[in-house]
Structure 1
Amino acid sequence: MKTNFSKVLFSFIAFVLIFSTFSFGASANGGKQSQIQMTELPLAEIFGDIELSSKRPTSVIVELKAESIVEAKQKGKKQTKAALKTERGKVINELKKSVKNADVNREYDYVFSGFSVELAANEIIKLAAIPGVKAVYPNVHYTADVISAEEIPQEAFSPEMMNSAPFIGSDEAWEAGFTGEGVTVAVIDTGVDYTHPDLVHAFDDYKGYDFVDDDTDPQEGAGQYHGTHVSGTVAANGAIKGVAPNATLLGYRVLGANGGTTEDVVAGIELAVQDGADVMNLSLGNSLNNPDWATSIALDWAMAEGVVAVTSNGNAGPNNWTVGSPGTSRDAISVGATRLPYKVYTSEISTTEGVEYPSAKVMGFPSDEQLLSLNEGEYEFVYVGLGAESDFEGKDLNGKIALISRGDFAFVDKAQNAKDAGAVGAIIFNNVAGEQPDVPGMAVPTIKTTLADGQKLLAELEAGNDEISFNIAFNKDVDETMADFSSRGPVTHTWMIKPDVSAPGVNIVSTFPGEGYAALQGTSMSSPHVAGAAALLLQKNPEWETENVKAALMNTAVDVIDPATGEGYAHNTQGAGSIRLVEALNTTTLVAPGSHSFGKFVKDSGKQVEKQSFEIKNLSNERKNYSFDVEFAGTPEGIKVTTSKNLKVQPGKSQQVNFNVQVDTSKMEPGYYEGSITVSDGKQTIEVPSILFVGEPDYPRVTGAFMDKESEGNYFVGAYLPGGAEVLEYDLYVFNPNGSIGGFVDTLGSFENAPVPYHEFEWDGTVQNGIDLPNGDWVLAVYVEKEGVTEYKAYLVTKE
């Protein structure tokens, strides 16, 4: 496969210049030298690795040099909608002159200045050359993902199921008179069923906007439920109560059945600000760990305009660097997911006497009662392969146990399929050596085993021994923990700590379209807890700026302890900790920002100094004397922080605190270091999470791969690259039916200097000697070199 030279060339020049006219001198015959002046025509910056040589229709977001209304306002300038319309008109007119088929869709002016447009990718260079264009961004796809969803039958529902709001202190806040009254929360999501009896009180005549169908009815689409569930966690007030039960809601439908794109998300943010929202919740995201430029700009200016923006951190944990946008935003409050306190059980399974299964452990369960009910007798167990819906066809699972192999799709989907087939429990065995993770909230009680024990169970079935019994017993109580699925930081490029805070996100019961209720889990469920908390803080402190709300939540969060170590989870797992409403409402000091990243210290040797600062706000009616202490884990010799020993701040006043961080790289091993800044007034102590890197951070060089069919014999193959790549190669392997990787097929492409955040190239669907690759599942392995670090990761793709 030859490298697409024009693509590589244009990807490079898109960041610099489009062309120059060259200067030549003629003096060989001694005649007068003529001179032609060189002229450089600058381009707007083009973000993302867009296939600039392709004729494929491509949707992009265009940012103008003319500042948005809010940006100009924050800079002390005056900007008007009319002036921006004129500036946009000039650019759009020039675009339509130079590009025949350019379809402008959305136009923005309030928190983002620009428009969205669809045009052939090879025409984007012309767009970037138009005067007045500042930047061009990819129109990224967003989803409203949850880890699992289970609708609760009316006869099984009880109000006590909504226990997450009281856990963070909502009921105590209500008793103190803070219920969100007078505060408006915008839910930017899949729409909302505003007719639900627990939500109808929260909506006025104007309910929001539907950007999917372009009308003023944000009713959730058929088969969708995400936005209704999120809305209930914020402001339900009926059979269950949300965190802010008297808040007003506005719904903005930006995600349809297949998700949505940046152009509608930005439009939703912009309209929510214009409609007067005080808080906005975005329980949506994508997998790119990189500031999603257009959305990030909109969120940053929404925060500057006084709207508290809260967003989910993502469900791609537990590894570091898995946070996706808009959780990567600089200013919005990004939220990780915790699991409420729970009980731990031991598990034994028995078939034929003498056959032992020492690896059997509880993976997850819907309730303690259902788990313990497995002790009540013997059950027939049935092997259903990978546990897909089709694997249950023609098999009687009613009242039985489903034996399932790991592989292909999520554990929670396997358990849900087992429940739908009538099974009362499931056993999932690994398909490789080692132990599988725990997955809270499974649809049926589920036991996990190793591959070896799974093969024993299969052998038992082969021998005709299909009866199994369980011995499940209580072991211990576990306090609040971080959910394994919750995405971790840091953020690439900014190196910021994310999430900012955490909140309950496992088995969260809330409203479901119609008159129902459902238990969902994901950081999508954590985020609205924080949005509701922000509403209560604004009710008590209507004059607060957004940074005060964020600081109050971060400063008063409690450390979440990892039961495996007995110590707090890493900063990039939990942020500042799990939110606590009463403490946030009653705080007398604010420290902002609520976390610090000192970035990279990359000197080969010697000392590097970075300056930082934070602001202390004394909310009390008395003068306070603050002391400071900075400590990094392990007290490494090469890190030195200098700051004030103490500081007096008058009541109701604020003061800036400056400090220097000095790192002697000659005394430090490369890597990630975390610490904390402790601020104390003698009564209240605030821990400010802090991190830094010595050397180039260890972010993943590749986070995903894809193979998309454009037309017959025309495919787009690519990879997600958070930091770009100096060397990039795509290798194709056989995917075996048992889930393993088979033989090498061909190298589809090799490239150099691929930019962030993703790379793609055209492929004709053939491999060695021009053979057409058969349709089906294949393994696409991506080799990346960047900053002296290499990675080789394999992904399952489908050729259609």
Structure 2
Amino acid sequence: MNRITKLTIFLIILTMVAFFSTTGMANQKSYSDKYNLAELYGEFDLRSEELVTVIVELDEPSVVEGKHTGRKQTKEKVLAAADNVVEELGRRVAGVEVYRKYYHVFSGFSVNLPQNQIPQLLSIPGVKAVYPNIHYEVNTEIIPLDWEVIHPKMLDSAPYIGAPLLWEEGITGKGITVAIIDTGVDYTHPDLAHAFGDYKGWDFVDNDNDPQEGPGQYHGTHVAGTVAGNGLIKGVAPEAKLLAYRVLGPQGGTTQDVVAGIERAVLDGANIMNLSLGNTLNSPDWATSIALDWAMAEGVVAVTSNGNSGPNNWTVGSPAASRRAISVGATQLPYNLYDVEIFTSEGVVYPTSKIMGFPNDNALLNIDGKEYEFVYVGLGRPVDFVGKNVQGKVALIIRGEIPFVNKVTNAKNNGAVAAIIFNNVAGEIPFYIPGMDLPTIKLDNVDGQKMLAQLQAGYNKVKFNIEKTGVVPEQVADFSSRGPAAQTWMIKPDVVAPGVGIVSSVPGGYAALQGTSMASPHVAGAAALILQKNPHWGVDDVKAALMNTAEVLINPVTGKPYPHNTQGAGSIRVKEAVNTETLIIPGSYSFGKFIKDSGKQVERQSFTIKNLSNQRVTYNFDVEFFGNPEGIKVMTSNNLRVNPGKTQGVNLNVQVDTNILQPGYYEGKITVSDGVNTYSIPAILFVGEPDYPRITHGGIVPVDGGFIIWTYLPGGADLFEVWIYRDSPFFYVGDALVIQNVAPGYHEFFWDGKINGNNLPRTTYHAFLYAEKAGVGQYLYGGSFQIR
């Protein structure tokens, strides 16, 4: 094919795209009012007859949404709207079963139906959106601790964020109620009994008023201890009151119970709620996120863990993607660095010896200068210790088959005082693992084989020389999920807090856990302290105080601040948050996306300054994007004078020249200064379409023998489907196309006009195009057509 022919075909395709796009848009406009399908979120097999539970959101607003949007709303009216949809669904689909109904902070219900009938549900008037009923599990590793040997990390993390300084002033969370939406809570635990009254909450797993944590569960009790423990473990807000809502059982739980727990906590009068749970759906319009947004609107501070799917961007899940809730990432507290030398016999050196991990500094320093027998136990599996005496000795272990932490735990369980692990391949072991059960030294394979040779030669003792060499500052945990949130492009997490090696209460004792689940209750406890000191503050004030006063963390590897979508505004410092005299709302800013193909695009934004002091303050502003990229200009006010106790808006005009800037993601900050204090507000913007899956254009055109269905998929699709609906009565007929692994770009597909090999009756139909990539789907109206 010659160059002219190729160019001609390319121009024809472009013309077709323009023509069909216009036609499709015209059809969409004509039918949008009458034929508007509800939004669909999540992953479903729409060809399967298997039953599935979904969460249905109604067009009818919830009671709280009505209250805050100027519409009088009642419980009865919401439930009546739900009944109408359920009745219509029952006429169209046999055997549907409704489980839970919601009305206060979420308007809708959960229902069981065949997956291939979901498109039918989407077409029922009154349905706004349909969400999957995601299964939640708590997969946090637990390390039980004897009370006599507890290294109270909780007593490290609470002081680290400044809580005891407020306790001395009588700010302990007294009078504030925190809802723990989790696996239940052992309210009989000696560190927690003080926090519960006669009414303790609700169990949505067993459907009763006893939210006691179930057998084998511990997560909710651990979270509760971090918030309000007051015994051997002292939480961030030790005199706060607790309510427990058990939404996760031994086999986990589901969205329908989580939403019910949020709603019940608001109705029960909680001031704060903590949700140390989540899923991988990065969407602010997920059912739990919506419920949390309206809970915040009702004055309940909602705090949620950001997820444990890091370190890549876009890994934040719901409900952390909520527009208003406070999403929390996890950090590791500062720790000391040590060098180690080991000695087995004169003239033998082990140059690759390094610290792999240890439970606490005292445990490591306790072996310094001492000599122990060492015993080779192979891979360190339980079977490898059989017949070998490591009591009071050092276990020498080779890498492989099971995790390092399991090898060390097995050594501890058999009485070892320390462990040495050597590589099973060339090179050093590239891992440092804080919080291991024993002081653990790592060697490369050469040094490991050298130790084995020493053992065989009769040199069975090893001596440790340990020297402190430095301190690693607080750093963001690799597992902590990163933002931004899809659709809103908001920075997530909002803040970070300690979440590695946190010791807290569990049924029957204490344990160390790690995860953003452990970070979130630090923030919930901090919010309790803030509200006690500032009882008239709103939820946005609390969130802003935590974000405005957070400490920006430096990545010790790069020497530069962590990205905004790794640390949010930074690590919380609760004393500063409680006592701040300025609030800047919101506490972070996304300027969104700039997608003009050429030229300059201007977006007008604003934020709010609250002067909480008793004197007039002049504020100055500076906006910069890192690296000073040419093509971004932000214009704002300066020398803004705000009277004491007053609030003032600040306008921002953001101009982006897409001719100059490369497509991508840009970070910056808004610096606000009152002459004494300086506040740093994270900011981001996107040039071009952010890298997320979507379908942008499509339509259906009649041709001889059938139809051409065309679409444009900028990022391609894992799954492309075309749903066919009859015009009158309007209902789902079936799938015209189901195609997997579609490449990015413009596509045309031929459809013979048949469904499952059968001809359609002669009448008018409508096509909806659906594209899914990486578990996120989107559809658009493709237009109407006639079968003649």
**TM-score, normalised by the number of residues in structure 2:** 0.80
Q: Deviations 1:352-394 (Å, cap 9, x if unpaired)?
A: 8777654432222101122233442244243543x56566667
- The answer to whether the aligner puts 1:166 opposite 2:159 as a matched pair is yes
Q: Supply the distance in 1 between the matched residues of 2:612 and 2:391 (Cα, whole angstroms).
A: 61
Counterpart in the other structure of 1:665: 658
2:680 aligns with 687
Find out whether 1:230 has 2:220 as its counterpart.
no
Q: Deviation digits for residues 165-187 of structure 1, max 9, x if unmatched?
A: 12211111112221111111000
Q: 1:55 aligns with which of 39, 49, 58?
A: 49
Partner of 1:80: 74
Partner of 2:671: 678
2:565 maps to 1:576: no
2:473 matched to which residue of 1?
A: 479
- Counterpart residue number, 2:190: 197
Distance 1:412 1:260, change over 3 A: farther
Matched position secondary structure for 1:96? helix
Which amino acid is the alignment partner of residue 641 of structure 1?
V
| 2:206 corresponds to 1:217 | no
Q: What residue number does 2:235 align with?
A: 242
Taking structure 1 as reference, are residues 727 and 351 closer, same or farther at Cα in structure 2, changes over 3 Å only? Answer: farther
1:92 aligned onto 2:86: yes
Matches for 1:396-435 after TM superposition, within 5 Å = 397-402=390-395, 411-428=404-421
Alignment of 1:7-46 (within 5 A): 41-46=35-40
Correspondence list, 1:386-465, <5 A: 397-402=390-395, 411-428=404-421, 436-449=430-443
Answering whether residue 331 of structure 2 is matched by residue 338 of structure 1, we say yes
Q: For the Cα contact (< 8 Å) 1:436–1:448, is it kept in 2?
A: no
- The code of the aligned residue for 2:716 comes to E
Given that 1:419 and 1:444 are in contact with CA atoms closer than 8 Å, whether structure 2 keeps it comes out as yes
- How far has the Cα of 1:350 moved from its partner? 5.4
**Map 1:464-613 → 2, pairs under 5 A:** 469-514=463-508, 516-613=509-606
Q: 2:631: which partner in 1?
A: 638
> Within 5 A, what are the aligned runs for 1:51-200?
51-146=45-140, 148-157=141-150, 162-200=155-193
Q: Which residue of 2 aligns with 1:726?
A: 716
Q: How many Å separate the matches in 1 of 2:259 and 2:69?
A: 21
In the alignment, which residue of structure 1 is the partner of 2:699?
Answer: none
What displacement does 1:621 show? 1.8
- Identical pairs, percent: 62
1:134 CA displacement? 1.3
CA distance in 2, matches of 1:641, 1:399: 65
Contact (CA 8 Å) 1:366, 1:442: kept in 2 or not?
yes
Q: Counterpart amino acid of 2:129?
A: A
Q: Distance in 1 between matches of 2:628 and 2:513?
A: 41
Alpha-carbon separation, structure 2, partners of 1:699 and 1:95: 33
Shift of 1:41: 4.3
1:198–1:239 contact (8 Å) kept in structure 2: yes
- Structure 2 match to 1:651: 644
Deviations 1:680-716 (A, max 9, x none): 1112211101122334446799xxxxxxxxxxxxxxx
Count of aligned pairs between the two proteins = 681
Deviation at 1:301, TM superposition (A): 0.5
Equivalent of 1:752, from 729, 732, 742? 742
Q: State how far apart, in whole Å, the 2-side matches of 1:270 and 1:623 are.
A: 41
Kindly tell me: are residues 416 and 299 of structure 1, through their superposed partners in 2, closer, same or farther at Cα, counting changes over 3 Å? Answer: farther
Contact 2:179 2:242 in 1 (8 A): yes
Residue 120 of structure 1: CA displacement? 1.6
Match of 2:271 among 270, 278, 286: 278
Residue type of the partner of 1:507?
G
Question: How far 1:321 sits from its partner (Å)?
Answer: 3.0
Secondary structure, aligned partner of 2:648: strand
| CA distance 1:727–1:78, change in 2 (3 Å) | closer
Structure 2 letter corresponding to 1:140: I
Q: Give the Å deviation of 1:549.
A: 0.2
Structure 1 residue 396: Cα displacement:
5.3
Structure 2: gaps of 5 or more residues: 1-26, 695-712, 720-738, 745-771, 777-788
CA shift in 2, pair 1:215/1:348, >3 Å: same
Q: Displacement, 1:457?
A: 6.6
Structure 2 residue aligned with 1:327, among 316, 320, 329? Answer: 320
Preserved contact between residue 105 and residue 263 of structure 2 (Cα < 8 Å): yes
Deviations 1:425-458 (A, max 9, x none): 3345567777533222122223345567667777
Once residues 452 and 96 of structure 1 are traced to their aligned partners in structure 2, the CA distance between those partners, rounded to angstroms, is 71
Normalising by the residue count of structure 1, what TM-score does the alignment of the two structures yield?
0.79
Alignment match, 1:9: none
C-alpha distance 319-444 of structure 1, shift in aligned 2 (>3 A): farther
Query: What is the DSSP-based 3-state SS (H/G/I as helix, E as strand, rest coil) of the residue aligned with 2:546?
Result: helix
Contact 1:727 1:785 in 2 (8 A): no
C-alpha contact (below 8 Å) 1:144/1:283 kept by paired residues: no
Q: How far, CA to CA, are the matches of 2:396 and 2:282 in structure 1? A: 36
Q: Which is further off, 621-630 or 412-421?
A: 412-421
**1:303-331 per-position Cα deviation (integer Å, ceiling 9, x unaligned):** 11100001112223333333232222221
Indicate how the Cα distance of structure 1 residues 168 and 84 shifts in structure 2: closer, same or farther if over 3 A, else same.
same
Contact 1:400 1:422 in 2 (8 A): yes
Give the secondary-structure state (helix, strand or coil) at the position aligned to 2:56. Answer: strand
Offset, 1:93:
2.0
Asked if the contact 1:162–1:510 (Cα under 8 Å) also holds between the matched residues in 2, the reply is: no
Tell me which residue corresponds to 1:626. 619
Question: Given the alignment, which residue of 248, 254, 260 partners 1:261?
Answer: 254
Change (3 A) 1:785 1:367: closer
Quote the residue 1:764 is aligned against.
none
1:376-391 to 2 correspondence within 5 Å? 376-385=370-379
Looking at structure 2, the residues matched to 421 and 268 of structure 1 have their Cα atoms a distance apart, in angstroms, of: 43
Q: Structure 1 residues 255 and 365 mapped into 2: Cα distance closer, same or farther (>3 Å)? A: same
Name the residue aligned to 1:371.
Answer: 364
Q: Separation in 2 of the partners of 1:85 and 1:293?
A: 21
Q: Tell me the amino acid that sits aligned with residue 664 of structure 1.
A: D
Change (3 A) 1:50 1:377: same
CA distance in 2, matches of 1:462, 1:668: 65
